Amino acid sequence: MAKKETMTINMGPQHPSTHGVLQLVLELDGETVVNAVPHIGFLHRGVEKLAENRSYHRALPLTDRLDYLAPMSNNLGYVLTVEKLLGITDQIPERAKVVRVMMAELTRIKSHLVWLATHALDIGAMTVFLYCFREREQIMDMYEKLSGARMTSNYFRVGGLSLDLPEGFVDDVTSFIDDMPGHLDTYEGLLTGNKIWQKRTVGVAPISAEDAIDIGLTGPALRGSGVDWDLRRDNPYSGYEDYDFEVITRDGCDTFDRYKNRLDEMRESCKIIRQAVDKLQPGPILADVPDVCLPPKKDVVNSIEGLIHQFKIITEGFKPEPGEVYQGVEAPKGELGYYMISDGSANPFRMKIRPPSFVNLQALPKMVEGKLLADVIAAIGTLDIVLGEIDR
Amino acid sequence: MPEMLSLSNDPILFLSLMLAKILAVFIVVILIVAYATYAERKIIGRMQTRLGPTMTGPLGLLQPIADGLKLFFKEDIIPAQSSKLAFLLAPMMILVPAFITVAVIPFGGDVVIKGFAVPLQITDLNIGILYILAMAGLGVYGIVLAGWASNSKYSLLGGIRSAAQVISYELAAGLAIIAVFMLSGTLSLRGIVAAQSGSVLDWYIFSQPLAFCLFVITSLAEINRTPFDLPEAETELVSGFCTEYSSMKYALFFMAEYANMIVVSAITATLFLGGPAGPFAGPINLLLKVFFFMFLFIWIRATFPRVRYDQLMFMGWKVFLPLALLNIVITGAVVVFL
Amino acid sequence: MIKELIQGLSITAKHLLPGNSTTVEYPKQRLETSERFRGLHHLVLEHDREKCVACYLCPTVCPAKCITIEAGEDKNGKKYPTVYQIDMLRCIFCGYCVEACPLEAIEMTGEYELANYKREDFCFTKERLLK
Ligand code: SF4
Ligand code: SF4
């Protein structure tokens, strides 16, 4: 028998479907993948280190740029961690909590829409891409209305929110979640029943529940392997315990089930948002912790105390007691955790981020070895990675 | 019945008419190629809630020309490590077979000029179908050569995919058509059109629905259109066999893709839909049918995902080929016993 | 199987009908930015001069360190910035400067077309910011 030679190709960092700047060194035997090694770091900006030289307040915009498809989830994880570090978690006003949940769920839909769009595009169904972006655009508009930016929202604050909801915002949200299930049906109409889509996803990029747990897979990818684990339910934060929602789990361990999971998650998110809208009561949006929260603008402009207060917080920042905390949130892609150490100064001593994509990416070699080149694309899509978060 | 015009009875008229026909067909095909890109972008754009080109000229109608000019003026890059001659030849090898296939397609009945009957067809080969299949087979050399000569791994993979794909699907496509000429009893396209010339019900799409479906699907695969666009699958192989091409050479590949679409549509129309038969003048009927198929191809592209390499092979060899064979057997039985 | 394929085709065909386009033809049409939009900064005028008193809160809070201020005093002894400059190439449009300013002397506008040709063109001096 002739000697078998394999071919090494570099997929990425410039490749249409490595979702940014992931480099995969693939060893191919014909079209079969013998070995896949992800190379990361092309988008490294040193977010963790940068945070050490910034006050807690000024480190917040850095988190927008982790998973840039779900900025509010990143913000949420960060502010929750700092609040935990400060010990003010129970002082967060109800309205702030509800808005946080509402926005986090909208963000989940937004992120999943991009996932579906790119995943479908990678597999060749390009129309779904634009339909998804059409709906995502509406969420972006809401983001803009609320926070002033379409992507880098920077909206939550330690202690609450930066601004109250603008007029008409709740109506926008309600009409969006009224329409969303219909749109989801459209996407499903193009994909779910389609024989080609099924062929491309059923049984593709499998990962068993044990492997998934060993690797540390989280989020929809884990739940697609039948592990019933969702931080929103199992370790609730920001008042998630008060919402009635289902954790979608399927045990097909394949791309198709992960796809169905995420679609159903969007439906669940719509339900959570509806409950949040119902829960929304007028009230303060910032915790009453004068050492931490900026005073309301009108106080700053009109009263000398407010002015001094503003100066003090901005120039000195706030100084949590020395200690360390970890807080994870169920970001759209999985468990996003911040591990924060304070040495009593105004800057974090160390901020370690546990990005879901980074951990999930480790499953990729396992998913594609011995499979075909085309499955690599499906696997990258189904893991829903974002390089901003992997490289940090 | 007037005599058929040929080289022996009036050489001058024959040659000049022949040239005129070639020129006319060529121009029409080039125009359709140019505006097929426009139509594709418009239609897919609309289907995807976009607008497609709007800026160049009214409704963006000058877009194909602008694109052509742009590609023409782009720097022509030949990779240093490529195999130069093959790299240069490949785009031509893919475009030329696509264009010359049109020569055998009849686009109307006979017209009488100076007492001679002139067929509206560039040439009527008595082995027309074989010629078409042969040309389709030649086209794949261009792709394979392009993939190999570029000396790039992605191109190579694209080239290999294409070779495997075209070979397996050509078999099925060829077998699907066999049923047609079992009914018509001739390999000449003119003869096949004549055999369908009765009423609409004589069209082979009604007597050979399975062959029709098989042929449309397999020819989609042969011309590398979605859902079978694996050789250039941009999300997998960057751009497949034409990854390394730029400027006019890339444009040739691009034109070949659309020319192939036209050819396949025209062949399908001829074999199954009575060719130029229909309510209007012959060429218009044929064009309408061609446009219908092209719209179908574009529509399919906008809707379906891409199949995977092994699934493609599976379908080619284990689904379409047996079905085509079965169709032949059934047709044969019908022809013999009825 | 066939049913689903046709269902897919009918969905795309439905979108082919006119009235489904979501395109905004950019240079001709523009999106309305929201009131809170965080675009180019603007220094607020008061009595024909900038309201800013060079209190240095905005450069302090700015995470990108892109605001340069030099304070001076006018003849009435009122502090004002002799230099106020924002480097738009560094600015991340976080809005912290606006949030921090105790006088509401700086605000952000809906201006988002900031592309330019030269590096210097991105240095927004006081005069440009006051416009
Ligand atoms: S928007 Fe943010 S980055 Fe830009 S100048 Fe203001 S504080 Fe600095
Ligand atoms: S915070 Fe306001 S007043 Fe202070 S320097 Fe900045 S713009 Fe001027």
Q: What is the pLDDT of residues C23-58, one digit of tens each?
A: 888 888 888 888 888 888 888 888 877 888 888 888
Could B307 and A134 be called an inter-chain contact, meaning their C-beta atoms sit closer than 8 Å? no
Handedness of CA A258, A259, A264, A266 (dihedral sign): positive
SS (H, E, C) chain A: CCCCCCEEEEECCCCCCCCCCCEEEEEEECCEEEEEEEECCCCCCCHHHHHHCCCHHHHHHHHHCCCCCCHHHHHHHHHHHHHHHHCCHHHCCHHHHHHHHHHHHHHHHHHHHHHHHHHHHHHCCHHHHHHHHHHHHHHHHHHHHHHCCCCCCCCEECCEECCCCCCCHHHHHHHHHHHHHHHHHHHHHHHCCCHHHHHHHCCCCCCCHHHHHHHCCCCHHHHCCCCCCCHHHHCCCCCHHHCCCCCCCCCCCCHHHHHHHHHHHHHHHHHHHHHHHHHCCCCCCECCCCCCCCCCHHHHHHCHHHHHHHHHHHHHCCCCCCEEEEEEEEECCEEEEEEEEECCCCCCCEEEEECHHHHHHCHHHHHHCCCEHHHHHHHHHHHCCCHHHHHC
Give the whole-angstrom CA distance, residue B173 versus residue B212. Answer: 10
Min Cα distance A56 → chain C (Å) is 11
Nearest to B43 by CA among B227, B295, B257: B295
Could B227 and A196 be called an inter-chain contact, meaning their C-beta atoms sit closer than 8 Å? yes
Largest CA distance in chain C: 84
Q: How many residues does chain A have?
A: 392
SS (H, E, C) A147-196: HCCCCCCCCEECCEECCCCCCCHHHHHHHHHHHHHHHHHHHHHHHCCCHH
- For residue C98, is pLDDT > 80? yes
What is the side-by-side order of every strand in the sheet holding C79-87?
C67-73, C79-87, C123-124
**Which residues of B are less than 8 Å from A372 in CB distance?**
308-310
Min Cα distance B306 → chain A (Å) is 5
Give the whole-angstrom CA distance, residue C97 versus residue C100. Answer: 5
Nearest CA in chain A to C22: A134
Task: Among C3, C23, C53, C60, pick the best mutation site for testing chain A contact (most A Cβ within 10 A).
Answer: C60
**Which residues of C are less than 8 Å from B39 in CB distance?**
none
**pTM score above 0.80:** yes
Residue nearest (by alpha carbon) to ligand 2 atom 5? C54
What is the side-by-side order of every strand in the sheet holding A323-331?
A323-331, A334-342, A350-354
pLDDT by 10s per residue, chain A, length 392? 566 788 888 887 877 777 778 888 888 887 888 888 888 888 888 888 888 888 888 888 888 888 888 888 899 999 999 888 888 888 888 888 898 898 999 999 999 999 998 888 888 888 888 888 888 988 988 888 888 888 888 888 888 888 888 888 888 889 998 888 888 888 888 888 888 888 888 888 888 888 888 888 888 888 888 888 888 888 888 888 888 888 888 888 888 888 888 988 898 898 899 888 888 888 888 888 878 788 777 777 778 887 888 888 888 888 888 888 998 888 888 888 899 998 888 888 888 999 898 888 888 888 888 888 888 888 888 888 888 888 88
Give the Å distance between the CA of A154 and the centre of ligand 1. 12
Give the Å distance between the CA of C57 and the centre of ligand 1. 11
- Its CATH architecture, for the domain C23-130, is 2-Layer Sandwich (3.30)
- On whether any CB of chain A is under 8 Å from the CB of C112, the answer is no
Residue nearest (by alpha carbon) to ligand 2 atom 4? C55
Could A125 and B303 be called an inter-chain contact, meaning their C-beta atoms sit closer than 8 Å? yes
Q: How many residues does chain B have?
A: 338
**Which residues of C are less than 8 Å from A147 in CB distance?**
36, 38
Measured from the Cα of C54, ligand 2's closest atom is 5
Min Cα distance A375 → chain C (Å) is 22
Give the whole-angstrom CA distance, residue A308 versus residue A315. Answer: 10
Measured from the Cα of C101, ligand 2's closest atom is 1
Q: CA B185 → CA B191, B195, B323, B335, distances in Å?
A: 8, 9, 21, 11
Give the Å distance between the CA of A148 and the centre of ligand 1. 13
- For residue B265, is pLDDT > 80? yes
Q: What is the pLDDT of residues B160-212, one digit of tens each?
A: 888 888 888 888 888 888 888 788 777 887 777 777 777 777 777 777 788 88
Residue C100: pLDDT band (50, 70, 90) is confident
pLDDT at C24: 84
Q: How many residues does chain C have?
A: 131
Measured from the Cα of C90, ligand 1's closest atom is 3
Task: Among B40, B151, B235, B307, pick the best mutation site for testing chain A contact (most A Cβ within 10 A).
Answer: B235
**Which residues of A are less than 8 Å from C3 in CB distance?**
193
Instruction: Show which residues on chain B lie within 8 Å of chain C, measured between beta carbons.
Output: 43, 46-51, 54, 299-300, 302-304
Q: Is C86 in the pocket of ligand 2 (CB under 6 A)?
A: no
Residue B62: pLDDT band (50, 70, 90) is confident
Subunits that touch chain C (at least 3 Cβ pairs < 8 angstroms)?
A: A, B
Report the phi/psi class of residue B151: left, alpha or beta, with left for phi > 0 and alpha for psi in -120 to 50: left
pLDDT at B233: 67
- On whether any CB of chain B is under 8 Å from the CB of A25, the answer is no
What is the side-by-side order of every strand in the sheet holding B116-119?
B3-4, B116-119, B110-113
**Which residues fall within 8 angstroms of residue B185, CB to CB, at 6 or more apart?**
B191, B195
Nearest to B273 by CA among B290, B251, B259, B249: B290
Could A130 and B233 be called an inter-chain contact, meaning their C-beta atoms sit closer than 8 Å? no
Task: Among A31, A121, A368, pick the best mutation site for testing chain B contact (most B Cβ within 10 A).
Answer: A31
pLDDT at A86: 87
pLDDT at A2: 60
Which of A129, A131, A199 lies nearest to residue B307, judging by beta carbons?
A199
Phi, psi of B273 (to 5 degrees): -115, 25
Measured from the Cα of C86, ligand 1's closest atom is 5
Q: Are strands B3-4 and B116-119 parallel, antiparallel or unpaired?
A: parallel
Residue nearest (by alpha carbon) to ligand 2 atom 6? C58
Give the whole-angstrom CA distance, residue B46 versus residue B43. Answer: 5
Nearest CA in chain C to A152: C94
**Which residues of A are less than 8 Å from C94 in CB distance?**
61, 152, 154
Q: How many CB atoms lie within 10 A of CB B6?
A: 10
Could C95 and A294 be called an inter-chain contact, meaning their C-beta atoms sit closer than 8 Å? no
Give the Å distance between the CA of C97 and the centre of ligand 1. 5
Q: Is C98 in the pocket of ligand 2 (CB under 6 A)?
A: no
- On whether any CB of chain B is under 8 Å from the CB of A130, the answer is yes
Give the whole-angstrom CA distance, residue B84 versus residue A96. Answer: 66
Give the whole-angstrom CA distance, residue A232 versus residue A214. Answer: 21
- On whether any CB of chain A is under 8 Å from the CB of C33, the answer is yes
pLDDT at A318: 83
Q: How many CB atoms lie within 10 A of CB B193?
A: 26
Q: CA A287 → CA A161, A283, A291, A319, distances in Å?
A: 9, 11, 10, 16
Q: What is the distance, to the nearest Å, from the Cα of residue A133 to the centroid of all Cα atoms in its chain?
A: 17
Which of B153, B161, B302 lies nearest to residue A9, judging by beta carbons?
B153
| Tokens at A105, concatenated | 């769920």
Subunits that touch chain A (at least 3 Cβ pairs < 8 angstroms)?
A: B, C
Indicate the helix (H) or strand (E) that contains C51: none
Residue nearest (by alpha carbon) to ligand 2 atom 1? C101
Which of A141, A189, A301 lies nearest to residue C104, judging by beta carbons?
A301
Could C63 and A59 be called an inter-chain contact, meaning their C-beta atoms sit closer than 8 Å? yes
Q: For B30-57, b where at least 16 C-beta lie within 10 A, e where not — what string?
A: eebbbebbbbbbbbbbbbbbbbbbbeee
Min Cα distance C96 → chain B (Å) is 37
Could A16 and B302 be called an inter-chain contact, meaning their C-beta atoms sit closer than 8 Å? no
ipTM computed for the complex: 0.83
